[in-house]
C-alpha cells in the first residue's frame, strides 16, 4: 500500500510516496515537481496535473495527504498554492484515493514533536524516520514526506 504526501506549490510542489507494509514506512519516491514561472498559470497547472497523474498511475496510492495552506504574506503566492492544491486534490479524489489535509502545525507536531519546529528540524526528523542517508532537499520534498508521515501516524494505517 502507498500513501502520497504533497506540499503543494505552483513553482515547486513537493511529493513523497511512502510504501506501507511490514515495519516502518519507507520512501518509494521523493522529490519536487516544478513548473516554469514564465508560463501562464493555466499551462502551469496543466503541467503540474500531468506530472501528478504520473505519480498516481505509477503508485496508485490509497491516500493522498496534502498540507493545508493557512496563511501566506504574499497573496499571489497563496493563490498559486491554492490553485495547485485544488487541482491535485481533485485529481486524487477522481481516482478514488482518500484525500486528507493537515495543517502545518499538525505536521510539525506529528513529525518533530512540537508545532514550532523549523524547516531544518523537520528535514532532520524526516531523515531519521525514513532512514535516509541525508536530510531530504529541497525543503519542499521534506515537507511532503512529513505530511505523508503525519497521515500514517494520524490515520493508524500501520495498525
- Which is the catalytic residue, given 7, 36, 51, 58? 7
**pLDDT < 70: residue spans in the chain:** 71-74, 158-159
Q: Is 131 a catalytic residue?
A: no
Distance CA 68, CA 81 (A): 10
- Which is the catalytic residue, given 47, 57, 67, 143? 67
Does the 2-155 domain belong in CATH 3.40.50.1000? no
CB 27 within 8 A of CB 17: yes
Q: Structure pTM? A: 0.94
Distance CA 139, CA 141 (A): 5
- Which is the catalytic residue, given 22, 38, 58, 140? 140
Distance CA 14, CA 80 (A): 14
CB 15 within 8 A of CB 141: yes
Predicted pLDDT at 71: 64
Predicted pLDDT at 152: 95
Q: Is 140 a catalytic residue?
A: yes
Q: Is 91 a catalytic residue?
A: no
Amino acid at each position: 500500500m502507498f500513501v502520497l504526501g504533497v506540499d503543494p506549490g505552483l513553482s515547486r510542489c513537493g511529493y513523497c510516496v511512502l510504501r506501507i507494509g511490514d515495519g516502518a514506512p519507507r520512501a518509494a519516491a521523493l522529490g519536487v515537481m516544478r513548473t516554469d514561472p514564465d508560463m501562464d498559470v493555466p499551462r502551469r497547472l496543466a503541467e503540474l496535473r500531468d506530472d501528478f497523474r504520473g505519480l498516481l498511475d505509477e503508485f496508485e496510492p490509497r491516500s493522498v495527504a496534502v498540507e493545508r495552506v493557512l496563511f501566506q504574506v504574499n497573496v499571489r503566492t497563496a493563490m498559486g498554492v491554492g490553485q495547485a492544491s485544488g487541482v491535485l486534490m481533485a485529481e486524487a479524489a477522481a481516482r478514488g484515493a482518500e484525500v486528507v489535509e493537515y495543517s502545518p502545525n499538525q505536521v510539525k507536531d506529528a513529525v518533530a514533536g512540537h508545532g514550532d519546529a523549523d524547516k531544518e528540524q523537520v528535514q532532520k526528523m524526516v531523515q531519521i524516520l525514513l532512514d535516509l542517508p541525508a536530510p531530504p532537499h529541497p525543503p519542499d520534498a521534506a515537507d511532503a514526506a512529513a505530511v505523508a508521515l503525519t497521515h500514517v501516524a494520524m490515520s493508524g494505517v500501520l495498525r
